Amino acid sequence: MTFQYGVDHLTASIALQIASGKIKGVLGNAALEKIKKSQRDVQQIVDDNRTVYGVNTGFGILANKPVSPEDTRLLQHKILQSHSVGVGNAIPEEIAKLMLITKVHALAQGFSGVQLVTLERIMWHIDNDVIPVVPEKGSVGASGDLAPLSHLFLPLIGLGEVFYKGKRQNISGVLQQNNLASIQLGPKEGLALINGTQFILAFAVKAVERMYNCLEAADIIGAMSLEALTGTKAPFDERLHQLRPYAGNRLVAQRLRLLLQHSDIMQSHMDCGRVQDPYSLRCMPQVHGASRNSWLHLNELTEIELNSVTDNPIIFSADDTISGGNFHGQPMALPLDYACFAAAEVGNISDRRCYLLLEGKWGLPMLLMKDVGLNSGFMIPQYTTAALVTENKTLCFPASADSIPTSLGQEDHVSMGSISGRKLNQVIDNLEWILAIELMSACQAIEFRRPLRSSELLEFAHEYVRKFAGFAEEDRIFANDINAIRSIIHDYSFVQNVDAFAREKGVVLGKGFENFNF
């Protein structure tokens, strides 16, 4: 299967499949024509000696400094050098590869004036997993993700480092191994490469995938906790949620109804006299659902950004160029911060269910172990969820609420969206651990309901977890269990296996809510 850069519609899912090698990105004839025309337009500007920002002028506060025609190529080489000021650890290789993919798609739309040979070299990096080393810090999320994009494209001019064949090495050696020379950038190319939101966007693409997985897992795990605590499914009644019809709420309520149907545990306490469950059980549709709505917003705007041109200036023709602000990261910074709060809240309510499981109420032993005193039981894993929830709260300060002027005031409002994207993925890291601890605790608690059984779907989920972590009769190093269970959340196998089993049984978890599918 192939994807035509600059022509086909890119989604987060397709971008990830290109990154994993499941789909190959190509340049079709339509894109080739647009690319060549745009490059000719830029060359015409240089030949006519017309002043266009970034083609024959300096950058930022130096926009009024003219550059001679003979120096226009050197100017582009220097911008990659001067803007490569990133610091900190290298971002994950998958994120850097997504940056390359999304940049090719933006440039191939034919408004940036880049050479075909430059795009072909970037595609060589993608297809051969020659992934540039990009430091994680240094972008303010406006004027493009200047620092990270500069590091991303240093290898084009024979500078910088790459990850190649499992090693971090200088690009010069890798080019020699592959009998390749560095690229000589043409007019405007350096600016086109580093102007854009691809750093923010790559983190958004990955967050869309990871947050979706966590939301799917949270519903399953929350249903297991509800069963263990002999909670009621009445608050998930479809009629109730038609009266407040948020799409996310309705979806979560539907999923919970399907996950809990035909449960012997649920039937066993129908007339127990308990009037209401705590909010962390009763309000899962409202809380998980609100986070689903946030995810939908992020996914929608990420898709718009994936198919946008975020370069500056934009070349419509040799006679029609506009220096605007499409590089500004604010349209992505705000939804990324919103999603950050939403992901943190899923962890917050999950921690509350962990706490409920330990209280020793409703027929469960205190701390989920029969012999406590000598044993601490499941007391201390909840300390970890408490720590992670608090850490997530500290990460919820919206980066987009701040702006520090740069370029001597020329760039006087910036988005800080690069920080928003990184923070969201940190929150999701913590969320995966929190959900793993709730899942471990819920599986332990359900076994105290034997011989009663839960629904087929939740019993399958329980048995799947038991392949990685068994029932605890006494204390052990629970970090090992937490790590094992987190791994099946992190690699998506927990959600995927439960969903596949449900489909085998003729159950579609989320039917009618296709907009929420990833």
- Is residue 370 domain-shared with residue 504, that is, in the same domain? yes
338-345 average pLDDT score? 98
Cβ(446)–Cβ(461) under 8 Å? Answer: no
Is 3 labeled as catalytic in the residue annotation? no
Q: Does residue 409 belong to any structural domain of this protein?
A: no
Q: Which of 135, 169, 196 is the last residue of a domain?
A: 196
How many domains does the chain divide into?
2
Q: Does residue 167 belong to any structural domain of this protein?
A: yes
User: In the structure, what pLDDT confidence band is assigned to residue 170 with cuts at 50, 70 and 90?
Assistant: very high
- Is residue 433 domain-shared with residue 458, that is, in the same domain? yes
Q: Does residue 317 belong to any structural domain of this protein?
A: no
140-156 average pLDDT score? 95
Average per-residue pLDDT for the chain: 95
Q: Which of 131, 164, 196 is the last residue of a domain?
A: 196
Q: 22-55 burial, b for 16+ CB within 10 Å, e for fewer?
A: ebebebeeebeebbeebbebbbebbeeeeebbbb
The DSSP 8-state label assigned to residue 10 in this structure reads: P
- Is residue 212 domain-shared with residue 190, that is, in the same domain? no
User: In the structure, what pLDDT confidence band is assigned to residue 210 with cuts at 50, 70 and 90?
Assistant: very high
- Is residue 117 domain-shared with residue 59, that is, in the same domain? yes
Q: Does residue 225 belong to any structural domain of this protein?
A: yes
- Is residue 136 domain-shared with residue 249, that is, in the same domain? no
Q: Which of 77, 83, 241, 462 is catalytic?
A: 83
Give 476 or 274, the one with higher predicted confidence: 476
Beta bridge partners of 12: none
Q: Which of 105, 121, 195, 288 is catalytic?
A: 195
Q: Which of 196, 211, 241 is the last residue of a domain?
A: 196
- Is residue 418 domain-shared with residue 508, that is, in the same domain? yes
Q: Which of 3, 5, 53, 378 is catalytic?
A: 53
User: In the structure, what pLDDT confidence band is assigned to residue 296 with cuts at 50, 70 and 90?
Assistant: very high
Is 168 labeled as catalytic in the residue annotation? no
- Is residue 303 domain-shared with residue 343, that is, in the same domain? yes
Cβ(175)–Cβ(38) under 8 Å? Answer: no
- Is residue 175 domain-shared with residue 218, that is, in the same domain? no
**According to the model, what pLDDT value does residue 71 have?**
73
- Is residue 167 domain-shared with residue 21, that is, in the same domain? yes
Q: Does residue 57 belong to any structural domain of this protein?
A: yes
CA angle 146, 148, 154 (to 5 degrees): 95
- Is residue 171 domain-shared with residue 208, that is, in the same domain? no
**According to the model, what pLDDT value does residue 47 have?**
86
Q: What CATH number has the domain bearing residue 433?
A: 1.20.200.10
CB 360: neighbour CB atoms within 10 A? 13
Is 447 labeled as catalytic in the residue annotation? no
Range of the domain at 27: 2-196
Q: Which of 282, 468, 483, 492 is catalytic?
A: 282
**According to the model, what pLDDT value does residue 60 have?**
66
Q: Which of 153, 203, 212, 327 is catalytic?
A: 327
- Is residue 178 domain-shared with residue 212, that is, in the same domain? no
Token pair, residue 462, equals 């329980």
- Strands, DSSP E only, in 21-150? 24-26, 87-90, 131-132, 135-137
The DSSP 8-state label assigned to residue 61 in this structure reads: G
Q: Which of 305, 411, 438, 459 is catalytic?
A: 411
Is 490 labeled as catalytic in the residue annotation? no
Is 279 labeled as catalytic in the residue annotation? yes
Is 83 labeled as catalytic in the residue annotation? yes
pLDDT > 90? residue 373 = yes
- Is residue 395 domain-shared with residue 261, that is, in the same domain? yes
Is 411 labeled as catalytic in the residue annotation? yes
179-193 average pLDDT score? 94
